[in-house]
Chain A
Amino acid sequence: MSDNNQNAQAYWKENVKLLLTLLLVWFAVSYGCGILFVDALDTIKIGGFPLGFWFAQQGSIYTFVVLIFVYTARMNTLDRKYDFHEE
């Protein structure tokens, strides 16, 4: 029982660490690039897009999609590593 318990705690710890890392990216891309530093980034242009404007209207959404799929893949690995995966 206590073995299983330790296992669950280690699993949870890794889970929270992964989550915080991904949320940091989430925050940096949307609130950072899209809002807080948008004017500075707008001085850089890629094609017709001022970069800050692109992050605010397009880039952040692409990043969100990628973040969730990365999370899904990493969690599936974690489930197997700690033997918590569903049959």
Chain B
Amino acid sequence: MSNELDYLSRRVAAGRLSRRDFLGRAAALGVTATMANSFLSSAARAQGAVKGGILRAGMLGGEATNSLDPASFLSQVPGLFGKAWGEYLVRQNRDGSLENRLAEEIGASDDAKTWTMKARQGVEFHNGKTVSAEDIAATIERHADANSKSGALGILGNIGTIKASGNEVIVELKEPDADFPYLMADYHLIIQPNGGKDNPTEGISAGPYKVAVNEPGVRHGGERFANFWGGDTLGHADQVEIIVINDATARTSALQGGQVHMINRVEPKIVDLVKRVPGVTIQNVAGRAYYPFNMFCDTAPFDNNDLRMALKLAMNREELLEKILFGYGSVGNDFPINAAYPLFPEGIEQRVFDPEAAAAAYKKSGHSGSILLRTSDVAFPGAVDAAQLYQQSCAQAGITIEIKREPGDGYWSEVWNKQPFSLSYWSGRSTQDQQYSTGYVSTADWNDTRWKRDDFDKMLFSARGELDQEKRKATYRDMAIMMRDEGGVIVPFFNEWIDASSDKIGGFVPHPAMDMMDGYALGECWVIA
């Protein structure tokens, strides 16, 4: 029996048998669908990448206002397309480690302040020019410039000087940072000729695909770059295409109808329905993204830690996870880090719903009257429902929550980071240091809980300069506990990334950092039939 299954699964992998027929025959042989599927995926991997064809993705997150300038990348579509045509210094692996790309070697001085990156030799840009250390230095310079509008500016603030010498780029940091190479994996930092200082929107880099079509908000297309430095490792399809499909139903039907091979952002409430569609696989993976309830620690009544604690204890995380994410996630513990991070502090006690303790803390805070919580559909899918569930669990602790439903237009400019108690989302960063320094260090632009604590900042900076991993881990643990017990963020859950792919493609392996295989899906997947 197993021989026959083996044979059949190899035929599917070779594209001579449809997945649907295979499942039918497997069922006839008395094999469960799960087992048949695992047969299939191992057969597909063994078969290896197939060259040729057009690989199509249907994606949420593109607008007519998008541009090819990597500094302006904000939404998913430009980011994913950027990873198809762009090349980076480093890239993060699924296990959290770093892989060198255009940086052949990265080394640090003992104090983690001076970083030397060796440029890979003989790599060609799409316009035929050879990638040099000067191009790399110019790229970092452009994004780190105080006057730049780059989305990466926030994380590059620690850079002092950048210079190119021979085939090396030397970066001097203002403060030590042991995680500096991780910053270079940021999706904005596409290496461009002369750093993109001349013409950032021309879409020239050294990625596996060359920009062929660029119609913002409609579609983007790439053609395989013949002189790609990575050879056969990436860029299996002849052409790739992203079709912008912002409507969730249209996205799912495009995948079902076979017009695209993969889609992002499948809504949790329809995952179980999509799973039943023949020829479609749900690709979900636990990541670092979470949906916070943000309280301003410096604004009444949230400036009182007893009140903040009451609001944390009054949250029923299990219920929210079940009803909002339909189980596609894991409960949070009121600090913005989970096990997907390297150096995750293990063994911190999980906070649970405790209406009595919440009522006691609420009484101790001396606050009375209702508390205004602002929410909107755009905060995250299900945000309005989440606020209502929270209102009910708070009521059990005698806390009255008043919900204000804000319009989606203007939510990010008028409500988030402006109002003292609101819902939001974070997609997570590659290291704990990045996550804390973008959102929770006193001076961060995006300090959306007004968490301003010198002692916390000091711990963050000391961990950043610490090359001894055990010591760093201990500091991160102290920080997590501090944030859990005193911080202004309530983390109900970490959500999973949920994409879906068709059985016409191979090589789709979800990545915890971001949806669509951390944006590398177009480069890594191949078309089977």
Do the two chains bind? no
Chain A residues with CB under 8 Å of chain B are: none
Chain B residues engaging chain A, CB cutoff 8 angstroms: none
